[in-house]
Amino acid sequence: MKTPKPVQLSHDETAFVRGLVLYEDAEILALAKPAGLSSQGGRGQVHTLDELLWAFAKPGKARPRLIHRLDRDTSGVILTAKTKPAAGFLGKALMARAFSKTYLALVTPGPPEPRGGRITLPLRRVEEGREAYMRVCAPDHPDAEAAASRYRTLKAAEGAALLELEPETGRMHQLRVHLAAVGRPIAGDPRYGGALVVGGQPVPRLMLHAAALTFPHPAGGRKRIEAPMPPDMAGLLTQLHLA
């Protein structure tokens, strides 16, 4: 694999990404990714999180490596490896589904029925112009990918609910599509039918937050890292009496 060239970052960019650190040791670095920042491969002139990781590179050394991704408009915990052995270990653990991911989501028009359960609808990728979507499909479709998501309702209010979600698989947009498929799209997600106004309050972005990540640590044992909910989402939940 070709080694990426270092990216020159401004003082403000370096300070910004260093301010996102949730946890760091000799082998891993966990960050609280804000909504609106692409993990990798973003378009335009703004640097992606992957590029901003050059702020942590030692002279002549590679930057930390992303172990997984979050959608651009999803906030929360994202994990990187600081060494090649750690990256290999964590990559294998991710493929073996040894990671446990916990998300929080605001959905409308109320809690799902039943209020807790497991969604096991196969998904397939669809290209529409320059955009990629995931769609629910029949299990025997040639492009079908198995997908499973657990959910439970934490709190419900008039026309909305706060859910805790645990994806068992890691398909693109999985939680967003699964919730839309059961009639409870995530607020602020127009791509999959999410409301842009809830309870008279405008929704600033996709209301999906990666709240916690539990995984095997390269040095042994399991590690849990949590990311506090961003002010925009916390504020909206308070206004809707879901906090």
Confidence (pLDDT) at 42: 66
* Distance in angstroms (rounded) separating the CA atoms of residues 134 and 189: 13
Confidence (pLDDT) at 3: 65
Beta bridge partners of 24: 29
Q: Which are the catalytic amino acids?
A: 71
Confidence (pLDDT) at 221: 98
Whether residue 37 contacts residue 20, with contact meaning beta carbons closer than 8 Å, is answered with: no
Confidence (pLDDT) at 96: 96
Residue 175 burial by Cβ neighbours in a 10 Å radius (0-12, 13-18, 19+): buried
Element of type H or E holding 15? helix 11-18
Task: For the chain, 243 residues long, give each residue's pLDDT as a single digit of tens.
Answer: 556 788 999 999 999 999 999 999 999 999 999 999 999 986 665 799 999 999 999 888 889 999 999 999 999 999 999 999 999 999 999 999 999 999 999 999 999 999 999 999 999 999 998 899 999 999 999 999 999 999 999 999 999 999 999 999 999 999 999 999 999 999 999 999 999 999 999 999 999 999 999 999 999 999 999 999 999 999 999 999 999
Confidence (pLDDT) at 61: 86
pTM comes to 0.95
Confidence (pLDDT) at 23: 98
Whether residue 106 contacts residue 198, with contact meaning beta carbons closer than 8 Å, is answered with: yes
* Distance in angstroms (rounded) separating the CA atoms of residues 43 and 147: 28
Q: Tell me, letter by letter, the H, E, C secondary structure of 74-104.
A: CEEEEEEECCHHHHHHHHHHHHCCCCEEEEE
Look at residues 41, 61, 43, 45 and name the one whose alpha carbon lies nearest to residue 13. 45
Look at residues 160, 149, 156 and name the one whose alpha carbon lies nearest to residue 200. 160
